[in-house]
């Protein structure tokens, strides 16, 4: 069976828009829905309200081979300040989506974007999908709850569900997190003050690699219910990553790590991606290439 008709929920967000573009490029019939439309990318767009029945209304009218949920909120610090809003986006909304799928599209493939935040601060690296779940932020806890909902709908109602746990995603269009903060601070000060020591590590994945991984899952023949880490398997320090960013921006700014630990920030992350590799994924974008494209976008459009 070929899966041709795909729906992206949250199609105007950072990840959603990149998935839309990759889907068009790969020859899929691409549909998207969001509560806003600000891009000028042309695709079959549905404006959706925040109403609890909105997904039922949409899914009762059009059927899709695959639905990818990029509609959650992806921001640890927002979740600390706004736990209720984060819960509504990352948990309640997922229940509304799963109910709509159960009622109207039981044979669709649902790909749920969770997060590596479910792991918190793991004791050993690399992190496997079977590693201890131990979130350290409301965002991480809410992602765990969304995953439990997915498991419920897969086990009780036979919905075809795959969960992905992206690590630190970056690329053009991302107006939050460390790259964005560094760029904004650097626009007004030659000394860029950041939390932490700079020696914390992340497994950074360029957005194009992340969208590739989703399309590997769309065509994969594996059976529901499965969870996949989405990363490159490489651990690099935040200091090294940001120094590279400064080089690509052409800035001679200084990074000043103030040694404070930000609530919700994990220390060391490196993913085991052998499960994702088994469905054909391999990371294609080197850090320099990804940061060069990101810096270009920051300088020209952000």
Is 71 one of the binding residues for ligand NAD (CB under 6 A)? yes
Find the shortest distance in angstroms from Cβ 85 to ligand NAD: 10
Is 15 one of the binding residues for ligand NAD (CB under 6 A)? yes
Find the shortest distance in angstroms from Cβ 154 to ligand NAD: 18
Is 72 one of the binding residues for ligand NAD (CB under 6 A)? yes
Tokens of 228: 């996949």
Applying CB under 6 A, among 70, 127, 144, 159 the residue interacting with ligand NAD is 70
Q: For residues 101 and 42, give the distance between their C-alpha atoms in angstroms, rounded to a whole number.
A: 26
> Reduced to 3 states, what is the DSSP secondary structure of residue 70?
coil
Is 137 one of the binding residues for ligand NAD (CB under 6 A)? no
Find the shortest distance in angstroms from Cβ 4 to ligand NAD: 22
CB 95 within 8 A of CB 69: no
DSSP letter at 115 equals -
Q: In sequence order, what are the residues at sequence separation of 6 or more whose Cβ sits closer than 8 angstroms to the Cβ of residue 277?
A: none
Greatest CA span in the chain, whole angstroms?
A: 57
- Count, residues near ligand NAD per rule CB under 6 A: 24
Q: For residues 66 and 69, give the distance between their C-alpha atoms in angstroms, rounded to a whole number.
A: 10
Backbone angles phi, psi at 260, to 5 degrees: -80, 150
As a whole number of Å, the end-to-end CA separation of the chain is 41
Is 86 one of the binding residues for ligand NAD (CB under 6 A)? no
Applying CB under 6 A, among 113, 163, 194, 255 the residue interacting with ligand NAD is 113
Q: For residues 251 and 257, give the distance between their C-alpha atoms in angstroms, rounded to a whole number.
A: 17
Is 76 one of the binding residues for ligand NAD (CB under 6 A)? no
Q: For residues 100 and 147, give the distance between their C-alpha atoms in angstroms, rounded to a whole number.
A: 17
Tokens of 111: 């790909």
Find the shortest distance in angstroms from Cβ 11 to ligand NAD: 7
**Which residue's CB is nearer to ligand NAD, number 184 or number 253?**
184
Is 266 one of the binding residues for ligand NAD (CB under 6 A)? no
CB 148 within 8 A of CB 227: no
**Which residue's CB is nearer to ligand NAD, number 104 or number 253?**
104
Is 205 one of the binding residues for ligand NAD (CB under 6 A)? no
Tokens of 267: 């220390």
Spell out, one character per residue from 168 to 187, where the chain touches ligand NAD: x when CB under 6 A holds, - when not.
-x------------------
Is 218 one of the binding residues for ligand NAD (CB under 6 A)? no
Is 12 one of the binding residues for ligand NAD (CB under 6 A)? yes
Residues that bind ligand NAD (CB under 6 A): 9-10, 12-16, 33-36, 48, 50, 70-74, 89, 93, 113, 115, 166, 169
């Amino acid at each position: 069976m070929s899966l041709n008709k795909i729906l992206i929920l949250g199609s105007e967000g950072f990840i959603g828009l990149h998935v839309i573009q990759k889907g068009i490029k790969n020859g899929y019939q691409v549909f998207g829905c969001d509560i806003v439309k600000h891009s000028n990318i042309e695709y079959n767009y549905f404006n959706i309200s925040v109403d609890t029945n909105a997904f039922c209304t949409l899914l009762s009218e059009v059927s899709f081979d695959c639905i990818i949920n990029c509609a959650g909120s992806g921001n640890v610090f927002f979740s600390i300040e706004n736990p209720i809003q984060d819960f509504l986006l990352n948990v309640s909304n997922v229940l509304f989506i799963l109910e709509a799928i159960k009622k109207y599209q039981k044979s669709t493939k649902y790909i749920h974007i969770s997060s590596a935040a479910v792991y918190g601060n793991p004791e050993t690296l690399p992190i496997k999908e079977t590693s201890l779940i131990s979130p350290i932020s409301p965002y991480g806890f809410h992602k765990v709850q969304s995953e439990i909902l997915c498991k419920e709908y897969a086990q009780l109602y036979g919905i075809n569900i795959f969960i992905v746990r992206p690590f630190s995603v970056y690329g053009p269009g991302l107006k939050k997190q460390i790259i964005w903060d560094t760029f904004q601070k650097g626009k007004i000060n030659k000394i860029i003050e950041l939390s932490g020591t700079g020696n914390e590590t992340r497994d950074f994945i360029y957005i194009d690699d992340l969208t590739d991984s989703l399309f590997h899952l769309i065509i994969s023949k594996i059976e529901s219910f499965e969870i996949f880490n989405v990363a490159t398997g490489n651990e690099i320090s935040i200091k090294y990553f940001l120094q590279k960013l400064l080089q690509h921006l052409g800035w001679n700014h200084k990074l000043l790590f103030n040694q404070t630990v930000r609530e919700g920030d994990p220390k060391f992350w490196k993913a085991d991606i052998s499960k994702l590799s088994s469905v054909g994924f391999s990371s294609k974008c080197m850090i320099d290439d990804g940061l060069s494209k990101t810096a270009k976008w920051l300088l020209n459009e952000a």
